[in-house]
Structure 1
Amino acid sequence: MEQTDHRERTRRTDQVGRTGKGTVLLRPGGAGYADECAGFQLGFAQGPAVVFAAASTQDVVTAVRYAAARNLPLGVQATGHGLPGDAEGGVLVTTRRMDRVSIDPEARTARVQAGVRWGQVVAAAAPYGLAPLNGSAPGVGAVSYTLGGGLGILAREFGYAADHVRWLEAVTPDGTLRRVTPASQPDLYWGLLGAGQNLAVVTEMEIGLVPVRRLYGGSLAFDGAAVDPAAVLRAYEAWTRTVPDGLTSSFAAVPYPDLPALPPRLRGRYVLSVRVAWTGADGDRLTAPLRGIAPVLSDSLRTMPYTDSHTIHSDPDFPHAYYGDSAVLEALDVDRAGKLLSLVGPGAAAPCVLQLNHLGGALSRPAPNAVPHREGRFLLRLLTGGGRDTARAVLDPAFALLADATLGRSLNFAFGAGDRSDGLYGRQTRERLAGLKRRYDPANLLCRNYGVSAC
């Protein structure tokens, strides 16, 4: 019965070419369909029965009403960095054309549409001496990243990006366009910020900006073959206990392939690095203990304009396949963390990138949103390539090693390695989100995402 219903849904959808108001629809086999479905994450295939290439809020309203009228699964894609897995059939709304940014320098706010990337917001705010609470990769979608919480470059100083949202414009699954504020619809505002694209399709939001023109930041890199990786990690963890609340940092362990395209200092090396972002004074003094850990392979710590802040992490800017997951840790047992490095190091079944973000500071402050696990001290993120089974063979033992210190997982850093929602929220948050799901999406149209169910 269910299979018959799916075939009938697909047959009805394939009859559509263009709506009466001119909204562009793309279908399998048609010109532009494959390019429209493609995202940054190449590990998963998107095969919707129909794609709405939205260029306006009204296009999104049309797409949502179309899906609701036919009871079709509905997905949303801006850049495709955080795909939860493969998807077949249903409706996909792409928002990449909705890319308008406007800055109000007096109010210190930015209005961003659903397809805007963080790099655009950084560039638009910079002439006014302002900065958004963006993540490390300028190509990531600002709206979707914020809906998942938004762990930014200056997170320990200013908190999550979600904590600075003034209002949202969203289309709920009944096709209603809503302006959502903490005063007008506090429950929906609370749920949208933390639940991702599970309760509505957000078309625009207004976010607060911070008065940051320059910062001290960069990375210190060490050769993982010349030093004990566990010793570097222990030294980093000890150092995080001494820094001011406003200093944001992370530790990374990356096995670089031996490719001519890479700089000679990275080619074929297992590189350990500590990345730092700080808007205060005495940056060199605060980071001096890090330079004493071991001989430095490279040192990019410096004062820079905020527009160069993406160079702190230098995330890959080209589409590729990856699987990954995360764990919010209440504490870091450095001895177990050393064993973790052994599990996911150069000898792992698939190349694995480890990143450990120092949490706390402003991230621990309560806010009127659903971003969970604010009591965490570190966020562990693991990314690997290969097939899904190979990824799980690497990731599962690694996360199991730290299970007793794990509070949960982070929605923004779950990349299809398991398609599971457990651990994304604590019990009270999960139950409250389930109530919102029953209210705003009882048919579960927005099911192409992690995290929220009605039960």
Structure 2
Amino acid sequence: MNTVDNTADLLVLRPGDPGYDDELAGFQTGFARRPDVVFAAASAEDVVAAVRYAAERGLPVGVQATGHGLPGAFPGGVLVTTRRMDRVSVAPGARTVRVQAGVRWGQVVAAAEPYGLAPLNGSAPGVGAVSYTLSGGLGILAREFGYAADHVRSLDVVTADGVLRHVTRDSAPDLYWALLGGGHNLGVVTELEIDLVPVRTLYGGSVAFDGRETDPAALLRAYEEWTRTVPDGLTSSFAAVPYPDLPALPPQLRGRYVVSVRVAYTGTDGPEITAPLRELGPVLADSLREMPYAESHTIHSDPDFPHAYYGDSAVLSELDVVRAGELLARVGPDSGGPMCVVQVNHLGGALARPAPNSVPYREGRFLVRLLAAGDREEARALLDPAFTLLADLTLGRALNFAFGAGDRAEGLYDGETLKRLAGLKSSYDPANLFRHNYGVSAAC
């Protein structure tokens, strides 16, 4: 362990140093990065030091906050860990919050709740707010308010020249556009300011069915029909989860194939709109209710423990329920492959509105997400053929849900967006310093 330059308090770790492995640990346990140097940043100045160190030596740079969306192992180079940068500052009058690079969404929800405000967070409170937003940010109220990236006021970012820049839509419109949707391709974002919305409570939860008693494909068809009837402000998803028979699970879930519809809605007519869901089949569990926004993470009840997984997604122009039903069968509990979670998100509404950022495929109607547990190669062998079923309706892939797929950059952006991002990459990072991520190459 040692320091770099004049940053005497900056923790720098190399392989073999005490604390090196602990610093790399995150939510993803299927693989870990093995950088040559880890900069455990506690401030924007630490990030500047890390980027300048890498630039002087021509080393690639990666960033890690919580480790939920790691693109891959990517050995060597420099890794900047940001979990110590965890300051949250709410401005209730302006309805904004400033969050540093290591902040998790649960912290923001808790900080905003006393003011009757809520962030545009996702379903899991342990996910890092900044990386989520830079990749778009598809939240639990997405159809009402759009992507989280659509609500960013400003960003502080360290670019490849080692300069800390304050970026707004007015001060640097091209860089602002590229950062919001472009992930970590043009720099390390140390802090962002983002809107909060005036939401204190919502109507939400899930209606669950036993996927062995009620045909999952039939439930998906009924769900797709129901989405045609709901208002733009209602956000929902369909999920199919085969639970293993493990003692650690609640008895009602052990060994079950649970198919559910999840709902989040701020309107007053939630019970009437969701009533048809209870008619789809024998209900296994029903948690739909009026709830404080601080309890919104219970809608999806995502696992909160680190584990190994691989996943990818397809943004669809429409949902072909016949082929989607075949997909359910191919990756279901009787497929012989690894455990696979299927989620189908209803898009549209505010997500379709144009915004001054690089989040692509706003015309998409549905998003299909597949997440397989365990070994990456076994997962690819199961998931890749499944996505092929939807190929002719697929617009592209969602950066927020490309888990462990850093070797596959194709489809993350449409042609025009990719061309513009590559041009800006040439301007701000011509040496491709920030390449240990879901990469965008500089234009030739």
Which bracket does the TM-score occupy, shorter chain normalised?
A: over 0.9
1:439 aligns with 2:405: no
1:45 aligns with 2:52: no
TM-score, structure 2 as length reference: 0.98
Match of 2:246 in 1: 259
- The answer to whether the Cα contact below 8 Å between 1:388 and 1:417 also exists between their aligned partners in 2 is no
Which residue, 58, 69, 85 being the options, matches 1:98? 85
Cα-to-partner distance string for 1:166-209 (whole Å, 9 max, x where unaligned): 00000001001100000000000000000000101000000000
> What one-letter code is carried by the residue in structure 1 that aligns with 2:396?
G
1:131 aligns with 2:115: no
- The answer to whether the Cα contact below 8 Å between 1:195 and 1:451 also exists between their aligned partners in 2 is no
Q: Distance in 2 between matches of 1:103 and 1:385?
A: 37
- The answer to whether the Cα contact below 8 Å between 2:308 and 2:375 also exists between their aligned partners in 1 is no
Q: Distance in 2 between matches of 1:137 and 1:181?
A: 28
Question: How far apart are 1:331 and its partner, in Å?
Answer: 0.3
Cα-to-partner distance string for 1:84-104 (whole Å, 9 max, x where unaligned): 111211110000000000000
- The answer to whether the Cα contact below 8 Å between 1:392 and 1:417 also exists between their aligned partners in 2 is no
Structure 2 residue ranges without an equivalent (≥5): none
Which residue, 12, 16, 21 being the options, matches 2:7? 21
Q: Equivalences for 1:73-84 in 2 at 5 Å?
A: 73-84=60-71
Match of 1:236 in 2: 223
TM-score, structure 1 as length reference: 0.96
1:143 aligns with 2:130: yes
- The answer to whether the Cα contact below 8 Å between 1:411 and 1:451 also exists between their aligned partners in 2 is no
Q: Distance in 2 between matches of 1:65 and 1:309?
A: 41
Q: Equivalences for 1:301-380 in 2 at 5 Å?
A: 301-348=288-335, 349-380=337-368
- The answer to whether the Cα contact below 8 Å between 2:406 and 2:439 also exists between their aligned partners in 1 is no
Question: How far apart are 1:265 and its partner, in Å?
Answer: 1.3
Question: How far apart are 1:386 and its partner, in Å?
Answer: 2.9
Q: Equivalences for 1:148-227 in 2 at 5 Å?
A: 148-227=135-214
Match of 2:255 in 1: 268
SS of equivalent residue, structure 1 residue 297 = strand
Q: Equivalences for 1:389-400 in 2 at 5 Å?
A: 389-400=377-388
Q: Distance in 1 between matches of 2:290 and 2:146?
A: 22
Aligned residues: 441
Cα-to-partner distance string for 1:68-87 (whole Å, 9 max, x where unaligned): 01110101000010011112
- The answer to whether the Cα contact below 8 Å between 1:255 and 1:268 also exists between their aligned partners in 2 is yes
Q: Distance in 1 between matches of 2:29 and 2:377?
A: 16
Question: How far apart are 1:350 and its partner, in Å?
Answer: 1.1
> What one-letter code is carried by the residue in structure 2 that aligns with 1:382?
L
Worse overlay, 81-90 or 368-377: 81-90
SS of equivalent residue, structure 2 residue 283 = coil
SS of equivalent residue, structure 2 residue 154 = strand
Residues 449 and 317 of structure 1: CA distance in aligned 2, closer, same or farther (over 3 Å): same
- The answer to whether the Cα contact below 8 Å between 2:136 and 2:148 also exists between their aligned partners in 1 is yes
Question: How far apart are 1:20 and its partner, in Å?
Answer: 2.8
SS of equivalent residue, structure 1 residue 239 = helix
> What one-letter code is carried by the residue in structure 2 that aligns with 1:446?
F
Cα-to-partner distance string for 1:1-50 (whole Å, 9 max, x where unaligned): xxxxxxxxxxxxx9x65443211101111111101011111112211111
Q: Distance in 2 between matches of 1:156 and 1:207?
A: 18
Q: Distance in 2 between matches of 1:42 and 1:441?
A: 30
> What one-letter code is carried by the residue in structure 2 that aligns with 1:268?
G
Match of 2:49 in 1: 62
Question: How far apart are 1:389 and its partner, in Å?
Answer: 1.8
Residue identity (%): 75
> What one-letter code is carried by the residue in structure 1 that aligns with 2:22?
D
Cα-to-partner distance string for 1:137-176 (whole Å, 9 max, x where unaligned): 0000000000000000100000000000000000001001
Question: How far apart are 1:353 and its partner, in Å?
Answer: 0.4
The runs of 4+ residues in structure 1 deviating greater than 6 Å are none
SS of equivalent residue, structure 2 residue 31 = coil
Cα-to-partner distance string for 1:269-318 (whole Å, 9 max, x where unaligned): 00000000000011111001100000100000000000000000000001
Q: Distance in 2 between matches of 1:228 and 1:346?
A: 13
Q: Distance in 1 between matches of 2:58 and 2:129?
A: 29
Match of 1:6 in 2: none
Question: How far apart are 1:451 and its partner, in Å?
Answer: 3.7
> What one-letter code is carried by the residue in structure 1 that aligns with 2:62?
G
Q: Distance in 1 between matches of 2:361 and 2:208?
A: 30
Question: How far apart are 1:417 and its partner, in Å?
Answer: 3.9
Match of 1:382 in 2: 370
- The answer to whether the Cα contact below 8 Å between 1:154 and 1:248 also exists between their aligned partners in 2 is yes
> What one-letter code is carried by the residue in structure 2 that aligns with 1:405?
L
Q: Distance in 2 between matches of 1:299 and 1:337?
A: 24
Worse overlay, 258-267 or 323-332: 258-267
Match of 1:4 in 2: none
- The answer to whether the Cα contact below 8 Å between 1:265 and 1:297 also exists between their aligned partners in 2 is no
- The answer to whether the Cα contact below 8 Å between 2:406 and 2:437 also exists between their aligned partners in 1 is no
> What one-letter code is carried by the residue in structure 2 that aligns with 1:317?
D
